[in-house]
Structure formats: C-alpha cells, structure tokens
Amino acid sequence: MKPTPLLIAALLLSVSCKSQKAGIISDKAELTLVAEGYDFTEGPAVDKNGDVYFTDQPNDRIVKWNASDNSVSDWMSPSGRSNGLYFDHDGNLLSCADEKNELWRIDMEKNATVLVDNFEGKKLGGPNDLWVDPDGGIYFTDPLYDRPWWEPTENRLEERRVYYVTPDIGEVKIVAENFVMPNGIIGTADGKTLYIADIGDKKTYVYPVNEDRTLGERKLFCELGSDGMTLDNQGNVYLTGDGVTVFNSKGEQIHHISVPEKWTANVTFGGPQQNILFITAMDSVYTLEMAVNGIR
C-alpha cells in the first residue's frame, strides 16, 4: 500500500519525537519514585554537591535528598512554611517563607535571617519562587494565594508582581507586573535572560535582563503557565503542572514527561553531574536520568 501524505507526516513526527526524547533523556531511563507520603512537595533546590532540598509546605518542613545514596531525610522543621527554594553563591539556602510573607536566608546550621518582609511598608502577597542572578541579586515572584495560616490583614500588597533584591539586600524594586498570577521563574546562566510564568493566565514570558538588572520588554514564550521551572545546558525550558513539558529556546514543545500524580509542582537538576531531573509532585518526589545537564 502506498503511504499517504498524512501517514508519512505521522511517521516523521513519531521519529522526530523519539529523536528529541533521546536527545534529552538517557537511553532506557525511567521515572523513579524516590519517596512519597508528603502533603504537598515544592521548591527543589540543588546545592554544590548535587543534593536537593525540597519543601513539604503543609507540614512546615524542608526535606533533603542525598544524591549519593538516594535517601531522603527531614532537614529543617519548622521552616517558616517554606515554599520555593534556591541556593545563593555562598551556599546559603534562600526560602520563600510563606508563613509571614517573607524572604529568608538559611545557613547550613539552620539559622534563618529575614531578608525581606515588606515593600514600601506593606506586607508582601507571599513570595512563591525565586532565582539568583550571577551577581547574587534575587528575583522573586509574589502572587497572592490566601493561606489558612495567615491572619487577616489590610496592610498587604494586592498587586501580583516580580521583584528584584540587590546583592547587598539594600534595595527591593519592582521589575515586572501586569500578571494574573506570577509563579515559576528561572534565568539563564549568563544572567541575560529571565523566564517568568503567569500560571493564572496560562502563559510563560521571556525577558531580556538589562545592565542594571531591570527587565526589558517581555515577549510571549509559550501558551502554557507553570508552577515551577528549570533550564538545561541546551537552553531547553522545563515547565510543570501536567507532568513536565519541555520547550526549546524558541518556545517549541519538544517533549512531555508524564508523572502519575495529577499535579507536578516543581523541578530542578540534581546529582553531582546535575544530570538527574528531580521532580516534586503532590505527595511524592521522582527522579529521571537525563542526557542533558542543569546549569548554575
């Protein structure tokens, strides 16, 4: 039977998808359940050894995944209802401490310092996710998800924005706004490009970063929002929600990683070589061996 143009197109698409999968995921790699039994996992952040710290926010704890033996253990509790996490250049763990709408710096002795607790005299809406640029400055998203542990207050920001904290923690400034609900955020290793997801509007935007660390004109990257996100060394962007959806730097979808849970919150690269995709999904965390590497 002579193949029809439609059949040829389908076959080419199938080959293309398999090729793209082979390009980013290790051959024969399978999604591996690391641990379960949490209430809601979030905020994975990788340290210099490749170990990953993540949060179980409803239970107010930070958990550590040890890359060398694939074990998990509670690292800090209480944790200020930590949500998104990221390591700074000095090895401190930065936390979106949601209990009191603050941004924290936690050293490895588990001493917490409040870096930001307000903007122009008003409480933040609730820092959610963050990224540290090459200079040590901090970009963070500030949506407004009402939490059951918050006390009612009128002195709270209602605007959904993204802020930048200067490396000396001397200034906090607005760098992006006009979102429905900003959430996931990640930047490139050279610090010249920033991705911000507006999960409330089901869109992700890309911004050029100016010399003064303000952001240039935003452009639509893709018609998909994200709870959390990461980048690999090929410039691919990993968005979360319904599993993990991978886009190339042009905003073209190249792969989708299915996850059993109904919601995937966040993702990062762990392991000594940063070739282990670490996924937080509802009550569980997973790993997947990759053929690409994360970036710092």
Token digits for 152? 């009612």
- Residue 118 contacts residue 105 (beta carbons within 8 Å): no
Give the pLDDT confidence score for residue 156 in this predicted structure.
80
CA distance 191 to 134: 6
Give the pLDDT confidence score for residue 4 in this predicted structure.
47
pLDDT values of the chain reduced to their tens digit, one per residue, 296 residues: 444 444 333 333 333 344 445 489 999 899 999 999 999 999 999 999 999 999 999 999 999 999 999 999 999 999 999 999 999 999 999 999 989 899 999 999 999 999 999 999 999 988 999 999 999 999 999 997 777 766 766 678 889 999 999 999 999 999 999 999 999 999 999 999 999 999 999 999 999 999 999 999 999 999 999 999 999 999 999 999 999 999 999 999 999 999 999 999 999 999 999 999 999 999 999 999 999 999 97
Distances (CA, A) of 113 to 67, 86, 248, 278: 27, 15, 37, 27
Domains in the chain (CATH in brackets) are 35-289 (2.120.10.30)
CA distance 182 to 42: 16
**What is the distance, to the nearest Å, from the Cα of residue 58 to the centroid of all Cα atoms in its chain?**
18
End-to-end CA distance of the chain: 52
Torsion-angle region of 6 (φ positive above 0: left; ψ -120 to 50: alpha; else: beta): alpha
